[in-house]
Chains A and B, each alone.
Chain A
Amino acid sequence: MERCDLGRLKAYHDDALAPAEREAVAAHLIGCPACQQALAALAERSRGVAQCLTTLDPEPAAVPAARQALARFREAQRSHASAPSPVRIALQRSVTMIRETFGNSRWRSLAIGAAALACLVILFSFAPVRQAAADFLGIFRVRKFAVIPIDPTQQQKIEALLRQAEEGRFGAPTILREEGEPEPVADLAAASARVGFAVRAPTILPWGVPPLSLTVQAGPALRYEMDRAVIQALLEATQAQGIKLPAVDKITLVLDVPYSVIQEYGFGTGRLTIRQMASPQVDIPAGVDLTAIGEAGFKFLGIPDADALRLAQGIDWTSTLVIPLPTNVLQYREVTVDGVVGLLVEHRPAQSSRRAAFLLWQKDGVIYSITTRDVDPLVTMQVADSMR
């Protein structure tokens, strides 16, 4: 060592030098009292720092066992990746986009509940058809959202119906296009090219971090054909009254869910996922009385007859997605976001600081959702307002 060098002394002290360099430092030290002193000071300071940092160590008993942690990790991965049936995928993805919202099982069941009403809307649309089914004139596109508060009993009813649907009681759909895997894309321009609309991104991100991932995902397309026996089964299952069966052998519905773009942000335990997609489309046979379907759906949910009719008449069924929310565990409110009226749903358990929220709005034919965990709703709204 030709001159005194604190960094090299430190490396010498930490035994991080190659053998030749180490020997050179040792030789220099013999003839350099200043470096000897500096080395002693370095050693003393390193000891002190190590002692201080050791106070931050967890108690040995408090360190989770790696094997158990691995088991939890695998379990979390499995529950995240467990593949629902194509029907459920299509219905959930197509109409609510809520599935992505909620990591834990309670939220997942709520998302299923939401999808179930969508399922009802679609399935009920078979009932009052009065003319040939191949005529697809009515088109449902999501423009607005409406919330129907439900209690746990009603939620169970919806889930029971959905289970029957999954078991094939109401027939099985023909998959025209499988739901794709999320595929990474390089940037927003590439994403826009894939989805066919201008993908937006937030300009305000409180954590100042780039997205963990930017992906596009193809939605499924399916065709649902129902004959009279299937429709009869559906009517029985939902105890729908006063709905006349169509005078045709078979009715066909087509559901097409377009590409969506997913931007995922993370910061510690916090998660913020922005999903955007053009409205999914349901081709509805001509002549369907959507108000009557909606009314039957509300009655199925246990809403008194008079209210069901009034509610159903107050909704534009060609453009409104109805979301049933269990208000015993969720709070919701309408908010102004991105210049339009949106829906903010919050889950705030009393005993935990963990909370989740879901913000949903529609603008210029594109549906946006932001799902969060451990993020202040005010921050979520700021992020939404900054979409450019």
Chain B
Amino acid sequence: MTCSEVEFDALFLAHYEGVYRLLYRIVGAREDAEDLAQETFLRLARHGQPDQEPHVRAWLYRVATNLAYNLLRSEGRRQRRQQAYGAANGETETDPIEIAARQDERAAVRRALASLPERQAQLLLLRHAGLSYRELAAVIGVASGSVGTLLARAEAAFEKAYRAASREEGGRGHGTM
């Protein structure tokens, strides 16, 4: 699918906020979320949405989550490398929100998500972002009849991981689960 500039602008305005929120939940830093959101729409502008994917929102969210997880992977490598070399190069940016009051809980939630298989974490985040079962099915490539089962499993896995992560926080996690 290719679209005119007017159509593209309409899509951008309709979906930007949702894409940004989704990205922010994953990467947790404004600058990265903005960059990745721009990149997501750049891909839409450049390549268009494939014809076989009729749900533009699902397509955008899939591209966005893939970009975000790619970033997390490369960040993980960077941090591991820094630890290995003991390098403190002053490049690690501190997200001010991370030092706010709910820091512990956020950390536990992030750790729990990170410990899940990527597809399960993606499924939870995309559902939380408001995708329908049909859209989720399109994103992860399954029949929409399977989405309920996959979501139920993912939620159970998250619950377990979150409890473990909260314990690691030294009982500081304030989640209700």
A interface, CB within 8 angstroms of B:
5-12, 14, 16, 42, 45-46, 48-59, 62-64, 66-67, 69-70, 72-73, 76-77, 206-207, 209, 212-213, 266-270, 353, 376
Contacts and interface: CB of A to CB of B under 8 A. Distances in A.
A49 B159 contact: yes
Given A42-B152, A53-B124, A55-B106, A73 B12 contact: yes
B52 interface: no
B12 A66 contact: yes
Contacts of B32: 268-269
B70 A267 contact: yes
A7 B45 contact: no
Contacts of B9: 70
B75 to A, nearest CB: 8
Contacts of A52: 105, 109, 112, 158, 162, 175, 177
A14 B148 contact: yes
Contacts of B39: 266, 268-269
Interface in B43-72: 43, 45-46, 67-68, 70-72
Closest 9 CB pairs of A and B: A268-B71, A7-B149, A11-B148, A7-B148, A48-B177, A267-B70, A10-B148, A66-B16, A353-B91
Contacts of B125: 53
B140 to A, nearest CB: 14
Nearest to B37: A69
B93 interface: yes
B21 A77 contact: no
Contact of A16 (B33, B81, B133, B158): B133
B2 interface: no
Contacts of B25: 53, 56-58
Given A62-B30, A376-B81, A69 B38 contact: yes
B73 interface: yes
22 contacts: A6-B149, A52-B158, A52-B162, A53-B128, A55-B109, A56-B110, A58-B20, A62-B30, A62-B97, A63-B24, A66-B17, A69-B16, A69-B34, A70-B9, A76-B38, A213-B46, A266-B67, A267-B74, A268-B68, A268-B72, A268-B74, A353-B92
Contact of B105 (A45, A55, A59): A55
Given A11-B147, A58-B25, 5 more contacts: A16-B148, A58-B21, A62-B97, A268-B39, A270-B74
B147 A73 contact: no
A213 B43 CA distance: 11
Interface of B: 9, 12-13, 16-17, 20-21, 24-25, 27-28, 30, 32-39, 41-43, 45-46, 67-68, 70-75, 77-78, 81, 91-93, 97, 102, 105-106, 109-110, 112, 124-125, 128, 132-133, 144-152, 155-156, 158-159, 162, 175-177
Contact of A268 (B20, B21, B35): B35
Contacts of B24: 56-58, 62-63
A208 to B, nearest CB: 8
A59 B148 contact: no
B28 A10 contact: no
Contacts of B71: 267-270
A58 B31 CA distance: 12
Contact of A73 (B33, B38, B68): B38
B106 to A, nearest CB: 5
Chain B interface, DSSP helix/strand/loop, else mixed? helix
Contact of B156 (A45, A56, A58): A45
A254 to B, nearest CB: 34
A55 B38 contact: no
B38 A72 contact: yes
A269 B148 contact: no
A271 B108 CA distance: 31
A268 B67 contact: yes
A132 to B, nearest CB: 49
Nearest to A266: B39
Given A10-B148, A53-B128, A207 B74 contact: yes
A76 B24 CA distance: 21
Contacts of A6: 148-149, 152
A213 B148 CA distance: 35
A45 B160 CA distance: 11
A64 B109 contact: no
Given A10-B148, A55-B106, A268-B36, A70 B21 contact: no
B41 A56 contact: no
Contacts of B110: 56
Nearest to B14: A66
Contacts of A50: 128
Contacts of B92: 353
Nearest to A375: B74
Contacts of B21: 57-58, 63
A353 B43 CA distance: 24
